[in-house]
Amino acid sequence: MTGGGGVRADLRAELRDGRGMLATFSLLGCAEVIELVALAGFDAVILDMEHGPFDLQQMSRCLVAAHLRGMPVITRVANGDPSMIGKVLDLGADGVLAPHIGSAAEARALVAAARFAPEGERGAHPWVRAADFDGASGGSAAGWFADANSRAAVLAMVEGADALHNLEEIVHVTGLDAVFLGPVDLAQALGVPGQPDHELVVSALTRARAVAAEAGLATAVFAASPERARSWLDKGLGLVAYGVDSKLILDGLRSARDRGRP
């Protein structure tokens, strides 16, 4: 999307350049909240269709709000369903994130769903919002397909024992832009549920980041606390997603209540 008054950041290039983006997850899928996330100065937002109850219409409004405020959007789909991956990219998501990628074959399928031929098998329809509803970029539909292929970021969540086991192969899948480490699910997988900051989890994440870096791949990670977010950004991760909009709002309201009471 380039028109409509919005500013389109190149998320893929930013991940590649590794400037250390600070994002947050959105569970609420509310356009006004997305604007607040942008106004607060976050570098990106992740619309969470794995855990958020919102539908595609709400997601579409969130995308418009984010882009009007110049903030890129990653959509976390609920699973690897290729038709949903194509749909969220058609709606204008700058990147797609799939949960629980456990093998190179799953990562390859994710890339194929996100890229048009010849790089992949994304269903082609150039009159979508991502193409400004125009069916063309630089004067041709072919131009838009090439542009979309070069811009859509593809991120695979590494958050299970299978993913850790197969990581060397996953990070070498062509077309993948980043692995996104999930400490919450990893804590479950490593037998320390509810402890995403447990030493076992943090050292598994640190090892996974090293494997990705060795392969020249960016790493993103979820951080439940600001301290953990800062520590990952200090270590040079490409993107850190700190918190979830619903919990950040709850914390803000609790703090306002405490400050407002005599």
Q: How far apart are CA 145 and CA 142, in angstroms?
A: 5
CB of 12 to ligand 3PY, least distance (A): 21
Residue 102 touching ligand 3PY (CB under 6 A): no
Q: 238 near 15, Cβ under 8 Å?
A: yes
**Which residues, 201 to 240, sit near ligand 3PY by CB under 6 A?**
222
Among 159, 177, 187, 201, interactor with Mg ion by CB under 5 A: 159
Which of 96/131 has CB closer to ligand 3PY? 96
Residue 185 touching ligand 3PY (CB under 6 A): yes
The stretch near Mg ion (CB under 5 A) out of 26-34, 65-73, 162-170, 181-189 is 181-189
Question: 102 is in the binding site of which of Mg ion, ligand 3PY, none (Cβ under 5 to 8 A by kind)?
Answer: none
Residue 185 touching Mg ion (CB under 5 A): yes
Residue 159 touching ligand 3PY (CB under 6 A): yes
Closest CA to 204 of 240, 227, 226, 179: 179
Give the distance from CA 233 to its chain's centroid.
16
CB of 228 to ligand 3PY, least distance (A): 11
Which of 53/135 has CB closer to Mg ion? 53
Q: How far apart are CA 185 and CA 207, in angstroms?
A: 16
Among 182, 183, 238, 243, interactor with Mg ion by CB under 5 A: 182
Which of 44/189 has CB closer to Mg ion? 189
Among 56, 68, 136, 184, interactor with ligand 3PY by CB under 6 A: 184
Question: Six-digit token pair at 184?
Answer: 């919450």
| DSSP-assigned states of every residue in 65-119 | HHHHTT--EEEE-SS--HHHHHHHHHHT-SEEEES---SHHHHHHHHHHHS-TTT
Q: How far apart are CA 29 and CA 47, in angstroms?
A: 7
Does the annotation mark 51 as catalytic?
A: yes
**Which residues, 15 to 34, sit near ligand 3PY by CB under 6 A?**
25
Name the residue type at position 147. Answer: D
Q: Is 41 exposed, middle or buried (0-12, 13-18, 19+ CB in 10 A)?
A: exposed
Residue 95 touching ligand 3PY (CB under 6 A): no
Question: 183 is in the binding site of which of ligand 3PY, Mg ion, none (Cβ under 5 to 8 A by kind)?
Answer: ligand 3PY
Q: 24 near 221, Cβ under 8 Å?
A: no
Which of 75/137 has CB closer to ligand 3PY? 75
For the chain, what percentages of helix, strand and coil (3-state, to nearest 5) are there?
A: 45, 15, 35
Residues 6+ apart with CB under 8 A from 126: 134, 135, 136, 141, 144, 145
| Positions marked active-site | 51
- Positions touching Mg ion (CB under 5 A) are 159, 182, 185
- Positions touching ligand 3PY (CB under 6 A) are 25, 159, 182-185, 222
